[in-house]
């Protein structure tokens, strides 16, 4: 049962964050038939990824269940957001976490219903074995979590401070919510902040999974050295505080994910 849930959760992360492109995400919020089409497209991608990662070719129940529940959940979220006249990516931390909680709850429900109706998993695994691979699924999921899901959460969490910085600098270009806690300033590279965040969380997570906590201190020190001149010479106090807040929050997420992953590996693998 644990292995089945890990596969479903990995499929959810891939489909909901890495394969939900901007055109799909924005298209879901269109009113009328166009929005419905994008909702169904997003649900279909979830079903396909779920079917492939399950690798149980006679198991149609779970992909169909995921398709229906995901479309209904996203439809409720889209309707609520449109009523508030909010932007698709600016729904806030609480709606984002609630939406993910509902999706994960449906994953658990799918596993429970399947076991109750069929009592066992089909034996048609081709690409993935079910025994002894929970560790690898946990590690894969941990790396998926510290990439785009964490980046979106950090961007939502720091949005009010980013907006405050933009408000004080009219020449600042408006930053997309997908940027990983990094306002785009003149001369900076597009999406550089997001990729810096991805790299630092992946490195920090790798250190934790290898039980090398000293490496995290080295990583923080190295980043501080690179950022020192930028923060000292050209930016005000608000920018300094913003960068520190985003970096610490980023490292906190990687640390928590790493510690939880190590504990799960010890207890369920």
What local confidence, expressed as pLDDT, does residue 90 receive? Answer: 54
| Residue 78 CB burial class (10 angstroms; 0-12, 13-18, ≥19) | buried
Residue 225 forms part of a structural domain: yes
User: Domain check: are 119 and 184 in the same one?
Assistant: no
Chain segment 163-188, per-residue pLDDT in tens: 777 776 554 444 444 446 555 555 45
What local confidence, expressed as pLDDT, does residue 230 receive? Answer: 55
Place of tokens 């994910």: 257
Last residue of a domain, one of 98, 128, 158: 128
Residue 165 forms part of a structural domain: yes
What local confidence, expressed as pLDDT, does residue 228 receive? Answer: 55
3-state SS, residue 125: strand
Residue 135 forms part of a structural domain: no
What local confidence, expressed as pLDDT, does residue 175 receive? Answer: 41
Residue 142 forms part of a structural domain: no
DSSP state letters, 85-110: T--GGGS-HHHHHHHHHHHHHHHHHH
Measured CA to CA, the distance from residue 119 to residue 66 in angstroms comes to 19
What local confidence, expressed as pLDDT, does residue 217 receive? Answer: 76
Last residue of a domain, one of 62, 94, 128: 128
Q: Which domain holds residue 156?
A: 149-268
What local confidence, expressed as pLDDT, does residue 102 receive? Answer: 96
What local confidence, expressed as pLDDT, does residue 238 receive? Answer: 72
3-state SS, residue 123: coil
Counting Cα atoms < 13 Å in the Cβ hemisphere of 198 gives 12
User: Domain check: are 49 and 122 in the same one?
Assistant: yes
Query: What's the domain count of the chain?
Result: 2
Measured CA to CA, the distance from residue 59 to residue 51 in angstroms comes to 8
What local confidence, expressed as pLDDT, does residue 129 receive? Answer: 54
User: Domain check: are 118 and 194 in the same one?
Assistant: no
Neighbours of 154 (CB within 10 A): 26
User: Domain check: are 93 and 170 in the same one?
Assistant: no
User: Domain check: are 214 and 105 in the same one?
Assistant: no
User: Domain check: are 167 and 55 in the same one?
Assistant: no
User: Domain check: are 153 and 37 in the same one?
Assistant: no
User: Domain check: are 79 and 195 in the same one?
Assistant: no
What local confidence, expressed as pLDDT, does residue 75 receive? Answer: 94
The model carries a pTM of 0.84
Residue 120 forms part of a structural domain: yes
Measured CA to CA, the distance from residue 81 to residue 101 in angstroms comes to 17
Residue 141 forms part of a structural domain: no
8 A C-beta contact, residue 172 and residue 185: yes
User: Domain check: are 7 and 120 in the same one?
Assistant: yes
User: Domain check: are 166 and 115 in the same one?
Assistant: no
Query: pLDDT tens track of the chain, all 269 residues?
Result: 888 899 999 999 999 999 999 999 999 999 889 999 999 999 999 999 999 998 888 888 999 999 999 999 999 999 888 887 655 555 578 889 999 999 999 999 999 988 877 655 554 454 455 555 889 999 999 999 999 999 999 988 888 887 777 776 554 444 444 446 555 555 456 577 788 889 999 999 999 999 887 777 777 776 666 655 555 554 566 777 777 788 889 989 999 999 999 999 998 86
Last residue of a domain, one of 128, 158, 179: 128
User: Domain check: are 6 and 124 in the same one?
Assistant: yes
Neighbours of 180 (CB within 10 A): 25
Residue 51 forms part of a structural domain: yes
User: Domain check: are 102 and 171 in the same one?
Assistant: no
Instruction: Kindly state the tokens that stand for 19.
Output: 């394969």
């Amino acid at each position: 049962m644990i292995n089945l849930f890990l596969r479903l959760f990995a499929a959810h992360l891939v489909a909901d964050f890495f394969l939900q492109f901007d055109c799909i995400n924005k298209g879901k919020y269109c009113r009328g038939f166009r929005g419905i089409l994008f909702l169904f497209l997003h649900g279909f991608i979830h079903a396909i990824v779920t079917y492939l990662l399950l690798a149980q070719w006679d198991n149609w129940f779970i992909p169909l269940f995921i398709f229906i529940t995901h479309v209904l959940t996203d439809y409720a979220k889209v309707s609520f957001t449109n009523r508030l006249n909010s932007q698709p990516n600016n729904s806030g931390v609480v709606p984002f976490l609630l939406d993910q909680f509902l999706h994960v709850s449906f994953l658990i429900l799918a596993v429970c219903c399947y076991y109750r109706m069929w009592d066992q998993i089909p034996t048609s695994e081709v690409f993935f074995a079910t025994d002894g691979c929970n560790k690898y699924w946990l590690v894969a999921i941990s790396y998926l979590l510290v990439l785009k899901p964490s980046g979106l959460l950090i961007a939502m969490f720091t949005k009010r401070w980013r907006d405050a910085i933009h408000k004080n600098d009219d020449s600042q270009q408006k930053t997309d919510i997908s940027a990983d806690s990094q306002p785009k300033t003149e001369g900076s590279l597009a999406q550089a902040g997001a990729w810096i965040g991805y790299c630092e969380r992946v490195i920090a997570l790798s250190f934790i999974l290898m039980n090398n906590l000293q490496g995290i201190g080295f990583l923080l020190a190295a980043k501080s050295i690179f950022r020192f001149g930028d923060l000292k010479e050209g930016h005000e106090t608000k920018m300094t505080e913003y960068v520190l807040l985003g970096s610490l929050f980023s490292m906190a997420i990687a640390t928590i994910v790493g510690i939880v992953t190590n504990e799960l590996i010890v207890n369920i693998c």
